[in-house]
């Protein structure tokens, strides 16, 4: 019978020397955690870990290249190219609250000359021009973006907002029709089209648009409200009540729905129900007024401008990254963090860039800042813990990964990374097995079963290891690594 050799070798037959072998890393972008393949990331981090950054990247050896299979190899290759194409970092003037708008206008003008006229660049510039109140320039840039890529439904929606603001309703209808043609499920597309058509007096067209809106987004309370109100105006009171009741059910804070429902109930002779709906409407309006007063009282123009400027710098950085201009991207990200240190987005992107260019100590600082900003965000603790593992600060890494699992017990990255650490370091093997079983329950992928096979093997459960390895092969039959491990388990050593 095949015996476990976990005290000498890992499940795949390689010597156990690095507790971070095979880590599955996670990088937070908005609310999404992205994972790199296990073996690819381990090799990638060994190749690029350098305090100098992307300029120190070298071509991999044949052995290293063979380990970087699939997306991991493509990631390494792209970063090796980036390192050779990084431009010189930008220099920025000091951000001062009293001259914040002038600062942002100057930066926007400089960036506009640097990023070109592709759709992404023009759309980023259009949005910030709109925020600065420069509607004419915002529209010009939005139209330029559509000339570059006429398939962008979200740009049509943005342009719609500019046109409605100027009461150019016929043009807005054209943009909305194109937006829903390009992307029928775009949020609010059909609903806004119906509202503009209703305002232009096209009740039948508005009704069809509202009905399409409900087909695309049946949980949209506002869509039920606007169709119910249209039906009420057309004298279809019974149908209107049904739609308005649904709107109130879906969004109990939608004051307009209760007002229209009160009208429908009154016309149908349900006086008591109408009074209750009207009372609810009045209570909601009082709450809305109180919230508005609180926002007006607490409005902080400096904070608004800091968030706006930092957000712009971050979006520009992402443009530069797509253009493979890493140094320029990093300069904008560092400026974003300086201007608005309480905003997480700049930290997120900068931390990912630092990891990808091998500057793990700096990345650690970014992730620690993110954990301080949002201590209950499991993804931040996962990323910090994973980076600490790469830095071989194992006690701190384990603490962060455990904390991530306290916040999100099904977090697949934390389950996998902590299990891999225990298995590679030959610590808490039963705990590693439990983590792997939880991982398979929450994310039954080939990689999860492969890791479970390792954990079973390390705990002396050879038959279970075979079953898990078979599941990995079944889910990813083209993966030669999984197949080799499965075959190794079928015969004595």
Measured distance CA(64)–CA(76) in Å, rounded: 11
Query: In the chain, pLDDT over 70 holds for what percent of residues?
Result: 81
Q: Which residues of 261-290 are buried (b: 16+ CB within 10 A; e: fewer)?
A: bbbbbbeeebeebbeebbebbeebeeeeee
pTM value > 0.85: no
Measured distance CA(138)–CA(216) in Å, rounded: 29
Read off the tokens for 377.
């965000």
Measured distance CA(371)–CA(448) in Å, rounded: 27
- Residue 55: per-residue pLDDT: 29
Measured distance CA(111)–CA(137) in Å, rounded: 15
Of the candidates 480, 429, 437, the one whose C-alpha atom is nearest the C-alpha of residue 458 is 429
- Residue 491: per-residue pLDDT: 74
- pLDDT for 21 beyond 90: no
Measured distance CA(206)–CA(233) in Å, rounded: 12
- pLDDT for 65 beyond 50: no
Q: Beta-carbon neighbour count of residue 301 at 10 Å?
A: 10
DSSP 358: T
Q: What is the pLDDT of residues 427-473, one digit of tens each?
A: 999 999 999 999 999 999 999 999 999 999 999 999 999 999 999 99
Read off the tokens for 109.
């003008």
Read off the tokens for 369.
């800042």
Measured distance CA(220)–CA(250) in Å, rounded: 7
Residue 73 Cα distances to 33, 41, 85, 98, angstroms: 20, 9, 19, 48
The separation between CA 97 and the C-alpha centre of its own chain, rounded to angstroms, equals 30
Q: What is the pLDDT of residues 342-383, one digit of tens each?
A: 999 999 999 999 999 999 999 999 999 999 999 999 999 999
- Residue 52: per-residue pLDDT: 28
Measured distance CA(432)–CA(465) in Å, rounded: 14
- pLDDT for 251 beyond 80: yes
Of the candidates 326, 288, 270, the one whose C-alpha atom is nearest the C-alpha of residue 83 is 326
> Quick one: pLDDT band at residue 97, thresholds 50, 70, 90?
confident
The number of helices, as runs of H, and strands, as runs of E, in the chain is 25, 2
- pLDDT for 79 beyond 80: no
Q: Beta-carbon neighbour count of residue 133 at 10 Å?
A: 9
Query: In the chain, pLDDT over 90 holds for what percent of residues?
Result: 76
- Residue 490: per-residue pLDDT: 85
Region 383-394 average pLDDT: 96
Region 482-486 average pLDDT: 92
Measured distance CA(402)–CA(422) in Å, rounded: 12
- Residue 296: per-residue pLDDT: 86
Q: Beta-carbon neighbour count of residue 490 at 10 Å?
A: 10
Measured distance CA(41)–CA(69) in Å, rounded: 10
Helix axes 71-85, 326-339, angle to 10 degrees: 90
Half-sphere exposure of 244 (CA within 13 A, CB side): 26
Helix axes 100-114, 301-322, angle to 10 degrees: 10
Question: What's the alpha-carbon Rg for the chain, to the nearest Å?
Answer: 28
Region 231-255 average pLDDT: 97
- H/E stretch holding 44 reads helix 38-48
Q: Beta-carbon neighbour count of residue 470 at 10 Å?
A: 16
- Residue 89: per-residue pLDDT: 56
Cβ pair 152, 160 in contact under 8 A = no
Highest mean pLDDT among 32-36, 193-197, 293-297: 193-197
> Quick one: pLDDT band at residue 44, thresholds 50, 70, 90?
very low
Half-sphere exposure of 97 (CA within 13 A, CB side): 7
Select the more confidently predicted residue: 334 or 70. 334
- Residue 218: per-residue pLDDT: 96
Q: What is the pLDDT of residues 101-154, one digit of tens each?
A: 999 999 999 999 888 889 999 999 999 999 999 999 999 999 999 999 999 999
Region 314-320 average pLDDT: 95
- Residue found under tokens 């050896």: 61
Residue 246 Cα distances to 74, 219, 222, angstroms: 49, 9, 10
Q: Residues 265, 270, 273, 276: what is their CA dihedral angle, to the nearest 10 degrees?
A: 80
- Residue 116: per-residue pLDDT: 85
Of the candidates 350, 427, 383, the one whose C-alpha atom is nearest the C-alpha of residue 19 is 427
Of the candidates 90, 121, 122, 95, the one whose C-alpha atom is nearest the C-alpha of residue 305 is 95
Cβ pair 61, 96 in contact under 8 A = no
Half-sphere exposure of 276 (CA within 13 A, CB side): 7
Q: What is the pLDDT of residues 399-420, one digit of tens each?
A: 999 999 999 999 999 999 999 9
Measured distance CA(466)–CA(224) in Å, rounded: 54
Among the residue ranges 9-18, 122-131, 298-307, the one predicted with the least confidence is 9-18
The separation between CA 303 and the C-alpha centre of its own chain, rounded to angstroms, equals 23
- The domains of the chain, with CATH numbers, are 26-82+340-489 (1.25.40.10), 97-297 (1.25.40.10)
- Residue 37: per-residue pLDDT: 35
**Strands 32-35, 26-29: pairing kind:** antiparallel
> Quick one: pLDDT band at residue 301, thresholds 50, 70, 90?
confident
- H/E stretch holding 28 reads strand 26-29
Instruction: Please report, in angstroms and rounded to a whole number, the separation of the first and last CA atoms in the chain.
Output: 9
């Amino acid at each position: 019978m095949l015996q476990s050799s976990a005290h000498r070798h890992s499940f795949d037959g390689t010597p156990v020397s690095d507790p971070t072998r095979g880590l599955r890393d996670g990088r937070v972008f908005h609310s999404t955690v992205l994972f790199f393949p296990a073996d690819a990331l381990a090799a990638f981090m060994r190749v690029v870990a350098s305090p100098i950054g992307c300029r120190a990247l070298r071509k991999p050896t044949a052995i290293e290249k063979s380990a970087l299979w699939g997306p991991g190899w493509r990631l390494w290759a792209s970063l090796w190219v980036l390192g050779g194409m990084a431009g010189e970092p930008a220099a920025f003037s000091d951000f001062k609250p009293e001259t914040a708008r002038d600062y942002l206008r100057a930066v926007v003008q400089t960036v506009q000359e640097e990023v070109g006229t592709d759709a992404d660049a023009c759309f980023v510039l259009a949005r910030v021009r709109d925020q600065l109140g420069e509607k004419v320039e915002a529209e010009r840039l939005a139209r330029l973006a559509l000339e570059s890529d006429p398939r962008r439904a979200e740009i049509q929606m943005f342009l719609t907002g500019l046109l409605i603001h100027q009461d150019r309703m016929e043009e807005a209808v054209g943009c909305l029709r194109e937006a829903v043609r390009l992307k029928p499920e775009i949020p609010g597309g059909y609903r806004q089209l119906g509202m503009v058509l209703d305002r232009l007096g096209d009740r039948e067209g508005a009704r069809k648009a509202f009905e399409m809106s409900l087909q695309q987004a049946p949980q949209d309370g506002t869509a039920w409200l606007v169709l119910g109100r249209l039906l009420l105006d057309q004298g279809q009171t019974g149908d209107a009540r049904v739609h308005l009741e649904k709107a109130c059910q879906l969004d109990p804070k939608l004051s307009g729905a209760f007002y229209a429902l009160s009208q429908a109930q009154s016309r149908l002779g349900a006086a008591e129900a109408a009074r209750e709906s009207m009372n609810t409407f009045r209570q909601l309006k009082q709450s809305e007024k109180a919230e508005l007063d609180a926002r007006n009282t607490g409005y902080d123009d400096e904070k608004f401008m800091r968030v706006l400027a930092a957000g712009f710098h971050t979006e520009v950085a992402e443009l530069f990254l797509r253009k493979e201009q890493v140094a320029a991207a990093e300069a904008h990200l560092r400026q974003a963090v300086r201007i608005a240190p309480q905003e997480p987005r700049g930290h997120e992107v900068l931390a990912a860039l630092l990891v990808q260019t091998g500057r793990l100590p700096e990345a650690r600082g970014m992730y620690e800042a993110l954990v301080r900003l949002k201590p209950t965000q499991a993804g931040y603790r996962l990323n910090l813990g994973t980076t600490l593992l790469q830095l071989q600060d194992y006690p701190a890494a384990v603490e962060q990964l455990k904390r991530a699992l306290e916040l999100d017990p099904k977090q697949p990255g934390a389950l996998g990374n902590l299990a891999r650490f225990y298995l590679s370091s030959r610590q808490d093997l039963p705990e590693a097995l439990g983590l792997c079983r939880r991982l398979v329950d929450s994310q039954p992928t080939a990689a999860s079963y492969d890791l479970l096979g390792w954990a079973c093997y390390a705990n002396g459960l050879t038959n279970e290891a075979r079953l898990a390895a078979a599941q990995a092969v079944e889910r990813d039959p083209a993966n030669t690594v999984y197949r080799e491990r499965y075959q190794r388990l079928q015969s004595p050593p």
